[in-house]
Structure 1
Amino acid sequence: MVSQQQFPHVSSGGTVYYGFPNHDASAENTYIYQQQPFAADPSNTLPSLQRAPQPQAVTLNDLVQALSVSKKDPLPEWKLAQYDASSHSWISAKLVKCLNLSGSDLDLTVNGNNTTTVVKTKQVQMKVSSNFDGFEYIFGLTAFVKDELKVGTDTVNIPALQSKYPYLAPIKPIVYSYADVDLIIGQDSFHAIRPEEYFKSEADPNTSPVAVRVPIGWVLSGPMPTSTGFLSSCFKCNTDDTELGCQIKRWYEIESYGAYKQVDSRSAEDKMAAKILDSSTVHDGSRYTVGMLWAEESIMLPDNYYSSLVQLKSLEKRLAKDPHLRDQYSKTIEDDLSKGYVIQVPPHNFSNRSICEWYLPHHPVVNPNKPGKVRRVLNGASKFHGTSLNKSLLVGPDLLQNLVFVLLRFRQHHFAVSADIEGMFLQVGVLPEDQSSLRFLWLEDPTADVVVHQYTRHIFGARDSPTCANYALQRTAIDNQAMFPDAASAVLEKFYMDDYLDSFEDPDVAFKMSQELITLLALGGFKLTKFISNVTKINKELNPPQSAPQQETFLRARVKTSLETQVAFVFGKARVTPMKALSIPKLELQAALLATRLKEDVLKALTIPVSNTFMWTDSTTVLQWFNSGSKQPMFVANRIGEILESTTVYQRFHVLSGDNPADTGTRRISAESLKTSSWVSGPSLL
C-alpha cells in the first residue's frame, strides 16, 4: 500500500476532473479554472500504485483539465477536454475571439458514423500549459475552429465520486458540465495526455473509475455511464486536403509575385522554430550544431524498427539484382562513415529505446545526366502508425533570400561569379539528443547481422534541414562580420540556399571577394566550390584542376562611355485576368499597380545607384484617375492611393498602345519572336 503523503503533488492542489464522454464532430475539450489548494483526507489510504506499461493500458475516454492558453492578460474560466475518438483538436469560436487568435480559412473533411461532412473552419495555433501544481508541461497546440463544441449536457460530480472512491483524491473535487467545453485536445496531441501511472480499485477494477496521471495532470477515467446527454460517436479529420490546399497556395504565391503587397506573416510555428534555432545553435570549434525543429516540446515517436527492417529487405532484393549498384551504394555509406557524417550505434533495444528514436527508410537514386553517381536518399515522410519524422518536425521560418532579388543583382555588372557549397546539409551538426531520430539500417554482408547507423549531421529528406542549414550559414556571416564585412554581406544577400550568385565591375574585386568567401565559410564548416566565372583567374586558381570549367561562361557586351544611352531589360511580369470579370479600365489600373510594386522591388534589389524612375501607361482613364481630385469607388481609390505613395505626377506618362511593350506579354507570341520584341529590347521612345 502507498500512503498519500508519499506523493506531495497530490495534496498541493490542482484542477483535474473527469467526465464520461460522448462528443460530436468537433469533440475535444479542456477548461481553465482558477485553482484553490485542496487538502485530501489523510485518513484515506490509496490502493496500489501501478505504472502503465503501454499507452493502451488505460483508455482515457474523456478528460477535463485546468490548463493555461498563453496570453498576457488574466483569462476568464475556460473548460478543456480530451477526447480519444477525435483525431484532431478543436476550439470554440468564443475562445478564439477571447485569445485574439487568427488563422486561415479552409474546408475540412470530417468522417464519422459512416458520414462525410465538409466543414468550413480555420486552423489556429496556441501555447498550452498545465495549471496543475507540480505539472510544468507546456506544448504547442494546433486546433480547428468551430462555432460550438457540442460535447454533451451531462454534469459530473467529482466530490460524490471521491466520497465513494477515496483513491480519487489527486483529482480536484469540482462539479462541471460538458455544455461549457471550449477546447478539445485530440489524438494529434497524444504526448500531452498519454497515461503514465494510475490508481485503481483492487476490489472492482473493471467497472470502477480510475485516477490517471498524464503529463498535464491527474484525470479521471473509467467506463462510460448510460446517459441521454451524450451521443456515442467517433470522428476523424482528413487534413490531407488542407495540406494540398497549402501547397497550391504556396505555388500561387510564387506565380503571383509582385501582384500582391507582401506583409510579415510569421506563424506561431515559425516563431517557435526561430526560438529553437536561437537557443540550440552552438559552434563546436569547427562547425555549427543546430537542434532539430520539433513541433512539440516533448516528442514521442513510435517504434518503427521492424517496419524499417521490412523496407531494408525490400532494398536488399533490389540491390541483389544489380551488384554494381550495390557496390556504389555501399560506398556512399562508407564515405559518410569516414567523413563522420554517420556513426555506427548499438543494435536496437526495445526495452531501452529513446522516445524520439526513429529509423529512416532509404534507397538509391541515379541521375541519368550524371552517370556513375549514386545518391542515397532518406525518406523522412515515410509513415508508421499514422506519423512520420517530417510530421513531427516544423518547417521553420523561410530564411531564403528573395530569388528575384538574387538574380537581379547577379545581372547588374559585367563580371559574374557563381559557386556552390559542397554538401551543405551535411556540414551542419545535429544535437546529440536529437541524433537517435536519424537512424537507418544497413546490411553490408547478407550473412551478417543488421547494422544500425545514425546521422550526426542534418540530412537531405528531413523537412527542417533547409532551415537549419540556412540558419547555420547566416550565423557564420553574422558571427564573423567584423573580420569579413563585405563577404558577410554577400552571404546574407547573394546566396540562394547553397548557390552563390554575384557580379562585379572589377575582376580583381571579384577574385578577392571569392577568396574571402572561401575563408569566411570555412569558419562555419562550409566548403565553397565549383566556381564558374568569366574571370579567368577565378576558374584557374579557385577550382581543383579536374573540375575547372571552361572560360567565358558568361559573356556580356557593354559600351563604357557616358555619351551613349544603353537600354537593358530588367524585369517583366504578365498575369491572366481574374475569373471575376473586371472592366478594361480596372484591369489597366491593376497593371499600373503591378508595375509600381515591381518598380519598388527592383530598386530594393539593385545595388547600383538609380537617379530617377519613370512609368508609362497606355490608359488615359488611369491617368485621369491619377489627376482627379474627386472621390473614387473603393476599388479604384485603394489602388490609386498605393500608386501615389511611391510616384509623383512627374514620373507618370502616357504611351501609345502600339509602342507599349507590356502588351506583348498579353498576346500569343513564339519564344523566337519574343527575343527580338520590344518586351526584351524596350520601346523605341527610350
Structure 2
Amino acid sequence: MKSSQTDSLHISSAVTTTLLQTCLVNVSDLSDKPKEKTCRLLLDSGSQRSYITSSIANYLNLPTIENVDLSIFTFGTKSPQYIKSRVDNFIIKTRIGVKPSIYANVVPHITNSVQAPVFNNSVKLLQDSRLNKLILADDGSYGDKIDILIGNDYYHTFISNEKLCISDNLFLVSSDFGWVWSGRLNETNTLDQLSVLTYFQSAGIYDSKLHKPDLPLKTDDVKRLWDLESIGIVDSPKYSRDEEAIKQFNKTIQYKGNRYYFKWPWAEYPPNLPNNLGLAYGRLSNLLKRLDNLTIKSYDKVIQEQLQNGVIEIVKNASFSLSHPVHYLPHHCVYNRDKPNKLRIVYDASAKTIGNQSLNECLYKGPLMLEDLTALLIKFREHAIGIIADVEKAFLQLGLQEPDKDVTRFLWLKNINDSVNKENILTLRFCRVPFGVISSPFLLNATIKYHLMKSNNSILNQIADDIYVDNIITGAKSVLEAQNLYNTSKLAFNDLSMNLREWNSNSKDFLSRIPDTFCTDIEAVKVLGLIWNTRDDKLLLKYDISQTDLDSVYTKRSILKVIASVYDPCGYAVPIVLPAKLFFQKLWKQKILWDTKINSDLLNEWKQIISKFSYLKNISIDRYFLKSVDNTRASEKMRHELHCFTDASTEAYAACIYLRSSWGTRNIVTFIIGKSRLVPIKEQVNLQIPKLELLGALIGNRLLQYVNKNLRLSIKAQVLWTDSQIVLSWYHSNKLLLPFVSRRINEIKQNKTLILRYIPGQYNPADIGTRSDRIDHYDRWLKGPDFLLDNSENWFSMPNNCVYQVETQTSSVGEGLSNENTNNKSTLVENESNINNLDMTSTTELDKEPISDSDSDLEMILKVQAQYFPEETKGIVSNFARSLGLYKDVNDIEM
C-alpha cells in the first residue's frame, strides 16, 4: 500500500535472494453470471489481513460488505498510518475445484513489483527431475504486479504441509494453486534481474493486536438474543412451510423391523440439487492436508464402525447415472470439550457451489423447537424428583428410504495411508438420518412424539411432552413413580431401536434402583443450557466467558458476544444483563462500527458494567418449586396462583412471574420467569411512560398465559400487578380509546380469568428489570415481594387520591408506534376520587367512574367548550382539532 513512508524492503543480490510465494489465480464476483479475471496473488503470513487492489475490485464490480477504518503498521515503523477502506467479497478459483469466498480490504496499491522467478537454462535446479512433474503456481507469464495479498486470515486455507526441499534453504510448497517457491537462493546469476520484496504488515481497527477481518456481524447472535427475549411474550409465527413439513412426515413415515424410515421433507421435488462431486473431492483433499496421522486414524475408525453398524454403506457403482438426485456432503471433525478424546464427524449440508443450492436449501426445516425448551425448564421444576436421560446416537437410529439415500453421499479413502487420488476414493452414503441436515432435528423429535403418543399411555404421553431433540427432561412425585417411568420408557424406546442412557436425578434412592450401566452419578450436569446441581437440587446459569475475555472486550462485536454468552431463557439474570444491553444500544445510537475500538470513556463505562457479571455466579434457583415443603400430601393440596408484576421506564419495560402456593396459613413464593425488553431507539422520543407501562402490562399478560399453558399445576388465579394508575384507568374505561391503547387493552381483556391489581412502585419487583441502576437489588427480582407471603387481606389497595386520565380517539391515528403522536398536549385535571374498588378488577367487573368534587367547575368548562368549539364537542374531527391532536378525557372535556 502506498504511503509517504517506505512500506517495503527491496533486496537485489547476486549472492542471496529470497523468493516470495506468488501465484496466478482466476478471481470472480459472486453473481449468477460471474465476471472473471486472472490476477497475481501474494501469499503473506506476515499480514494480518487480506487485500485486493481497487482496480481489480472495480473491474469485477465486487459487492462492498462494510466500510472500515484501518490502522496500518508497516515494516520499520512504530506509528500506524490510518486509512479508510471498504471490505469486498469475491471468489478465488483453485486447481482442486474449490472456490472459497474471500473478504478483503480494498486499497489503491498493495506493494511494488515482485518479479516471478525466471531461471536461466544453465541453472542446476532445472536438472532436478521432480520439477518436470510439478505444476508451478506462478510461471512468470503475468508480470511483476501484485493484485491480491492473502494474509494470515486465509493463508492456511490454501497452503498445505507438503513441501519439497530443492536445495539448501530453497523449497517448493504445495498450495491449492500449484507449487510455490519459498526460501533463499545462494547461487550467482540464478535469476535474471530479480527484485525480491520482503514484506511485513500489521493491520487492525485502531489496534495492533491480532484481529479478524472486519466482516459484518452474522445475524445468529442477534437473532438468538431476540428469540430468547421473545419467548412467552410474542406469538410463534405459523408458517405454511412447517405445516407442509408435518404433512410430508405423516405421509412418508414407515415402520419396519423396530425402526422408522423417512423421506426428506423436500420443498419441491425433484430438487434443483447439483452433483457436487468436485466440491466434495476438494474439501476432502484440503481436510486431509490439515489432519495428522493420529486424527486420520480416529476419523477412519468412526467411519468403519458406522459401516459395521449399518449406519452408512458403500456405493458400489458410484459413477452410474441415476434418475433421482445425487449429492455429496463435505465433512470435517470436531472434538467435544467435555470428551476431548472423542472425535465426531460433522457433515456440511449447507455446502454449495456457485449458482447452485445446498441440500439444506432444498428441504423444509420443520417446526422450530426453541419455545418448547423454555416450557420444558418450567415443567421440570414441578416435579419433586427431577429425572433426565439421553437417547444414545438418536439421529442415527432413523432410517432413510432408498431414493433419498443418494443425496447423503460422501467421500473417504480406501487406504488412509495413501494420498487422495481417484483410485483411492471410496464413495459412501447414509442409510440413516445424519446430523447436520436442517431437517434432522425435526424428524427426530416428530418421530419420538409420534411413537410415544400413539400408545395412549399416560407416562409415555408425559415423556412425549418432556423431550427436547435427544434429551428427556422430566420427573415424578415419588421414587415408585420414577421407577415405573424408567421401566415404561426403556421398553418404548427399545421399540424405536433407541437406547436411553445417562439417567440422572436428585433422588439417590431412585438411581440406586437403575443398573449402573444406564445411569451416571455426576452432580453437575447440563440441562437445556443450564447447570443442574443434583446434590443440592439447584439450577445455575452456564457462563463460559473468562476474565481474560472480559478484560479484552473493546468493540461492539465483542461486547455483543459477551451479552449473548449469557444463556438465560427464563430470565433469572435480567437485572444483571440489562445494563449491558442498554450499553450496547448506546453504541448503536452513536453509530459505532462493529470492529472499531470504543473510546476510553465508553471503555470505563463498559468495565463498570461487566464487573457486575460476577453476580451471575451467585444465581442459584431451587429446581423444585415446592422444595421447602417436605410433606408430599401437603403439596398435593396446595392452592396455586400466578402473580405477574410489570413496570416500565424510559429505558425498558419488564414483567416477572411468581408462583404463590398456599397451604393453610403458610405461603410459598417462587420465581418462574421474567422478561425485559428495551425501548426501541426510534420510539424513545415518541413513547412516554404511560404507554410503556401499557406495553409492560401487555407482555405480562402474554407471559401469564404462556406459563399457565405449560404448567401442569392447577392454577386458581392469575393476578397482574402494575403501579400505573393510568393503565388501570384505561383498563376500566368505556370510552373510545386511541388505537395504540385500545388494541392492547382489548388483548389484555381477552384473558377472562385475569385479575388486575395496583402495587406502589417502591414495592414492585419488575422495577428492577427496567432500570440499569437497580442491578445491586437483583436478589429482589428472584425473591419476589414479601407481601405475597402475607394473607391477601393485607395486600395493597388503590390510594384514595389518584390522578389519571383516559386517552380517547378524536382522529384517525395509525397503529404503528412510529406513526402515532404520543406527546401529552394537555395538563392533567386532578380529581379527588374515591377509587377504593379499583385495586382489584377483572374483565367481568367494572368499577364506577370517578366522581369529581368540583362538578360545577367541570360543567362550566363543558359549556365554554360547547360555545366556542361546537364541532369538536360533538365529536366532529375538524382540521383545528386534528392539528392540535385534541381528545376527550373521562369527563368529555377536550384536551
Cα pair distance change 1:509/1:659, threshold 3 Å:
same
Residue type matched to 2:455 in 1?
N
Deviations, residues 202-247 of structure 1 (Å, cap 9, x unaligned): xxxxxxxxxxxxxxxxxxxxxxxxxxxxxxxxxxxxxxx9x97799
> CA separation in 2, counterparts of 1:381 and 1:374?
21
User: Which residue of 2 is the match for residue 403 of structure 1?
Assistant: 373
Within a 5 Å distance, the mapping from 1:623-642 to structure 2 comes to 623-642=728-747
Whether 2:365 is the aligned partner of 1:371: answer: no
Shift of 1:406: 0.9
Residue type matched to 1:639 in 2?
R
User: Which residue of 2 is the match for residue 493 of structure 1?
Assistant: 465
User: Which residue of 1 is the match for residue 757 of structure 2?
Assistant: 653
> CA separation in 1, counterparts of 2:726 and 2:221?
38
> CA separation in 2, counterparts of 1:490 and 1:672?
40
Contact persistence 1:286–1:525 (CA under 8 A): yes
Deviations, residues 78-98 of structure 1 (Å, cap 9, x unaligned): xxxxxx9999xxxxxxxxxxx
> CA separation in 2, counterparts of 1:244 and 1:314?
25
User: Which residue of 1 is the match for residue 502 of structure 2?
Assistant: 530
Shift of 1:299: 2.4
Shift of 1:569: 0.9
Whether 2:680 is the aligned partner of 1:578: answer: yes
Cα pair distance change 1:379/1:114, threshold 3 Å:
closer
Contact persistence 2:503–2:519 (CA under 8 A): no
User: Which residue of 2 is the match for residue 128 of structure 1?
Assistant: none
User: Which residue of 2 is the match for residue 306 of structure 1?
Assistant: 278
Whether 2:452 is the aligned partner of 1:480: answer: no
> CA separation in 2, counterparts of 1:468 and 1:629?
50
SS in 2 for 1:426: helix
Match of 1:426 among 385, 393, 396: 396
Match of 1:588 among 693, 702, 705: 693
User: Which residue of 2 is the match for residue 53 of structure 1?
Assistant: none
Cα pair distance change 1:496/1:672, threshold 3 Å:
farther
Within a 5 Å distance, the mapping from 1:552-571 to structure 2 comes to 552-553=534-535, 555=537, 557-559=627-629, 560=631, 562-563=663-664, 564-571=666-673
Contact persistence 1:364–1:374 (CA under 8 A): yes
Cα pair distance change 1:368/1:500, threshold 3 Å:
closer
User: Which residue of 2 is the match for residue 610 of structure 1?
Assistant: 715
SS in 1 for 2:390: strand
Whether 2:430 is the aligned partner of 1:455: answer: yes
> CA separation in 1, counterparts of 2:326 and 2:758?
66
Whether 2:409 is the aligned partner of 1:439: answer: yes
Cα pair distance change 1:460/1:370, threshold 3 Å:
same
> CA separation in 2, counterparts of 1:549 and 1:670?
39
Whether 2:348 is the aligned partner of 1:390: answer: no
Cα pair distance change 1:546/1:500, threshold 3 Å:
closer
Whether 2:311 is the aligned partner of 1:341: answer: yes
**Higher deviation after alignment, 606-615 or 300-309:** 300-309
SS in 1 for 2:278: helix
Shift of 1:568: 0.9
User: Which residue of 1 is the match for residue 781 of structure 2?
Assistant: 679
The one of the two structures with greater contact order (alpha-carbon pairs below 8 A, sep at least 6) is: 1
> CA separation in 2, counterparts of 1:546 and 1:115?
57
> CA separation in 2, counterparts of 1:279 and 1:244?
36
User: Which residue of 1 is the match for residue 589 of structure 2?
Assistant: none
Contact persistence 1:401–1:496 (CA under 8 A): no
Query: Which of these two proteins has the greater Rg computed from alpha carbons?
Result: 2
> CA separation in 2, counterparts of 1:670 and 1:357?
59
Cα pair distance change 1:310/1:479, threshold 3 Å:
same
Residue type matched to 2:767 in 1?
D
Cα pair distance change 1:454/1:324, threshold 3 Å:
same
Deviations, residues 61-104 of structure 1 (Å, cap 9, x unaligned): xxxxxxxxxxxxxxxxxxxxxxx9999xxxxxxxxxxxxxxxxx
Contact persistence 2:405–2:431 (CA under 8 A): yes
5+ unaligned residues in a row in structure 2: which ranges? 1-30, 35-59, 65-214, 524-533, 538-621, 635-662, 789-895
> CA separation in 1, counterparts of 2:33 and 2:350?
23
Contact persistence 2:270–2:325 (CA under 8 A): no
> CA separation in 1, counterparts of 2:329 and 2:787?
61
User: Which residue of 1 is the match for residue 724 of structure 2?
Assistant: 619
Cα pair distance change 1:479/1:572, threshold 3 Å:
same
User: Which residue of 1 is the match for residue 209 of structure 2?
Assistant: none
Cα pair distance change 1:367/1:249, threshold 3 Å:
closer
Shift of 1:647: 4.8
> CA separation in 2, counterparts of 1:289 and 1:511?
31
Residue type matched to 2:285 in 1?
K
Within a 5 Å distance, the mapping from 1:73-84 to structure 2 comes to none
> CA separation in 1, counterparts of 2:712 and 2:302?
43
Deviations, residues 493-542 of structure 1 (Å, cap 9, x unaligned): 11122111123222221221122111112212222211110122443343
> CA separation in 1, counterparts of 2:398 and 2:261?
6
Contact persistence 2:306–2:312 (CA under 8 A): yes
SS in 2 for 1:566: strand
Match of 1:667 among 762, 768, 771: 771
> CA separation in 2, counterparts of 1:422 and 1:399?
20
TM-score by length of 2: 0.47
> CA separation in 1, counterparts of 2:399 and 2:705?
39
Deviations, residues 88-123 of structure 1 (Å, cap 9, x unaligned): xxxxxxxxxxxxxxxxxxxxxxxxx97999xxxxxx
Deviations, residues 13-72 of structure 1 (Å, cap 9, x unaligned): xxxxxxxxxxxxxxxxxxxxxxxxxxxxxxxxxxxxxxxxxxxxxxxxxxxxxxxxxxxx
TM-score by length of 1: 0.60
Residue type matched to 2:385 in 1?
F
User: Which residue of 2 is the match for residue 509 of structure 1?
Assistant: 481
Cα pair distance change 1:324/1:671, threshold 3 Å:
farther
> CA separation in 2, counterparts of 1:523 and 1:610?
37
5+ unaligned residues in a row in structure 1: which ranges? 1-83, 88-112, 118-240
Percent identity, aligned pairs only, is 29
> CA separation in 2, counterparts of 1:660 and 1:273?
45
Residue type matched to 1:508 in 2?
L
> CA separation in 1, counterparts of 2:247 and 2:399?
18
> Which 4+ stretches in 1 moved above 4 angstroms?
84-87, 113-117, 243-251, 669-673
Residue type matched to 1:609 in 2?
S
> CA separation in 1, counterparts of 2:400 and 2:32?
36
Shift of 1:606: 0.8
SS in 1 for 2:721: strand
User: Which residue of 1 is the match for residue 387 of structure 2?
Assistant: 417
User: Which residue of 1 is the match for residue 288 of structure 2?
Assistant: 316
Residue type matched to 1:602 in 2?
V
User: Which residue of 1 is the match for residue 442 of structure 2?
Assistant: 467
Q: CA RMSD in A?
A: 3.2
Cα pair distance change 1:545/1:394, threshold 3 Å:
closer
